[in-house]
Structure 1
Amino acid sequence: MTLSLELSELATEIAREAGELARRRRDEGVRLAATKSTLADIVTEADREVEALIRDRIREARAGDGFLGEETGAELGESGITWVVDPIDGTVNYAYGIPAYNVSIAAVSGNPEPESWEALAAAVNAPAVGEIFTAALGHGAWLAGNRLAVTGETPAGALLATGFGYDPATHADDLATVSRVMPMARDLRRMGAAALDLAYVAAGRIDGYFERGLRPWDHAAGELLVREAGGAVSWIDSSATRPMLIAGGREVHAKLHAILTEKR
């Protein structure tokens, strides 16, 4: 078994257990633990508990690996493998009882710096709907035994997804970006969970996705899903404080990239 498959199996196993814990805690009732960057950027007690479980399971299986988690930060390892974890992606949805949340786990080769790592394995578990999206480098992206493939042509226009940052000061720019891409769109979706948006691109449920200001744990697993499903992922404004990720089938990705890099 290749390393990427081995890591994918472990990521899937841990994501399944972590997702079940998140779902149980949601059913029991959510307690808010803190806010982060803004009042809208919340963290629940479940976020912390789920991340602790994931960290413990990784340490038990692969003690020498590094770790980068949304709630607990970075820890360098000795093996050259780092796990990048969002314990509950879509925390606001989770707190409100909206089922669009997930556990996102990726294993990457290298240090916890997206510019230099290579994603090897991914698991995105949406426990409220009973779906686990998985990928291993060189072995495709999968859901329930079915290999995933991104959308090809979109003659009726592309179904696009995006997200907005928590800082209200960024919303005008985000809305302006939406206005720029709408001429190529069939419609727009705004789910509030980046890893699910990317998983849905990989599954062909969404044709393209764009969002500024994502953090490493937001996109590490989902980005590999899209690539392994035959799609393209790129970043623009890489020197800006809020670089933008663009993902989609190759035709849609190319159109989005052209629109969003056009000088105005």
Structure 2
Amino acid sequence: MTNFDTQHLLDIARSSAQRAGQLAAEMRADGISVESTKSNRLDIVTQADTAVESLIRKGLAVARPDDGFLGEEGDPSDGTSGITWVVDPIDGTVNYLYGSPYYAVSIAATILEPDGRRRTLAGCVFAPELDAEYTATTDQPALLNGRELYVDDQVTLDNALVATGFPYDHGRRDRVLAAMSGLAPKIRDFRLNGAASLEICAVADGRLNAVFLWDLPIWDYAAAALIATRAGARVQGGRDSPRTPLLLAAHPLLADTITPHLKEIS
């Protein structure tokens, strides 16, 4: 396999995310509206989603013209370098639309493994209105604004703060509700924050102990999963997993404890 300069890739991801986050914040300050919907009326696209993705895509094409691109809003493109950038221009679009600061730009440099899964080499999740920049590479630690992160390794199930979210498909929400109902008496509490990348990163920095999310697109977790993993979490499943579309991020011991309770939605 070709050796890639992960620091170079991370530098590009960081600078791209900073520019994109600035544009997203400026557009929201100026006022934004829903541009279209995707799978249903809940799965919205704002004017900012498309503008921010376009900005990222153009910048990456200048910096690394031979790379591929996979974004949430536009058509994918193949490259010749072996690197594909997986981008969510605004993760937490509903939060963004409603004025919550809990949204982020997610950018990951990935390669395709022989089994068809994507492996992230470098990733950045940037929340402009929280002034939070999460980063990691395969050979560097997870950082939050330059501070190294470590997943909380002393949490038992009864003391766990767990996050989840509902899929846009109403027909699949009963599975999540069933899992929440089963887990609720066994854990400390639930959180539903509405931005998957930030919730996975929160496991890395100890603000959450676990997160499980159903049928999550890869652009929502490509960068964050690497960040959580480099902080010591286990991230298992996801839409590109051959085993289950249910993604779980937690310390390995806590993940082993929670997993049996999630079988009904896997």
TM-score bucket (shorter structure)? over 0.9
Deviation at 1:4, TM superposition (A): 1.3
Q: Give the TM-score, by structure 1 length.
A: 0.93
Structure 2 residue 136 is matched with structure 1 residue 132: no
Structure 2, unaligned runs of 5 or more:
none
**Offset of 1:116 from its aligned partner?**
2.1
Q: Does 1:182 align with 2:184?
A: yes
Equivalents in 2 of 1:94, 1:246: separation in Å? 24
* Mapped partners of 2:36, 2:115: distance in 1: 27
Counterpart Cα distance in 1 of 2:186 and 2:97: 33
Distance in 1 separating the partners of 2:247 and 2:207: 18
Mapped to 1, the partners of 2:238 and 2:124 lie a distance apart of 25
- Decide whether aligned partners of structure 1 residues 143 and 239 sit closer, same or farther in structure 2, where only a CA change above 3 A counts: closer
Specify the SS of the correspondent of 2:28: helix
Where does residue 117 of structure 1 map in the other structure?
Answer: 118
Following superposition, the deviation at residue 180 of structure 1 comes to: 2.1
Deviations 1:178-232 (A, max 9, x none): 1122233111110111001111111111000001010010110111011111110
2: CA distance, partners of 1:210 / 1:73: 28
Partner residue, 2:21? 19
Residue pair 1:208, 1:249 contacting (<8 A) in 2 also: yes
Shift of 1:258: 2.8
Asked if the contact 1:114–1:216 (Cα under 8 Å) also holds between the matched residues in 2, the reply is no
TM-score, reference length from structure 2: 0.92
1:23-69 CA-to-partner distances (Å, cap 9, x unmatched) read 01011111211011010111001000000000011011000000000
Given residue 128 of structure 1, which amino acid in structure 2 is its aligned partner? E
Q: What is the aligned-residue identity percentage?
A: 42
User: What is the CA-CA distance between 1:250 and the residue it aligns to?
Assistant: 1.6
User: Partners of 1:87 and 1:258 in 2: how far apart?
Assistant: 34
Between the aligned partners of 2:242 and 2:222, the Cα distance in structure 1 is 19
Q: Name the structure 1 match of 2:78.
A: 76
Residue 144 of structure 1 pairs with residue 145 of structure 2: yes
Tell me the residue number matched to 2:160: 158
- 2:215·2:238 contact (CA, 8 Å) conserved in 1? no
> Retained in 2: the 8 A contact 1:158–1:207?
yes
Pairwise CA RMSD of aligned residues?
A: 2.2
List aligned pairs for 1:226-245, cutoff 5 A. Answer: 226-235=228-237, 243-245=245-247
Aligned partner of 2:47 in structure 1 is 45
SS in 2 for 1:185: coil
Gaps of 5+ in 1: none
Q: Distance in 2 between matches of 1:75 and 1:49?
A: 18
SS in 1 for 2:73: coil
Q: Would the aligned equivalents of 1:48 and 1:71 in 2 still touch at CA under 8 Å?
A: yes
Q: Is contact 2:179-2:264 (8 Å) kept?
A: no
Whole-angstrom CA distance in 1 between matches of 2:119 and 2:104 = 22
Shift in alpha-carbon separation, 1:233–1:221, aligned structure 2, 3 A:
same
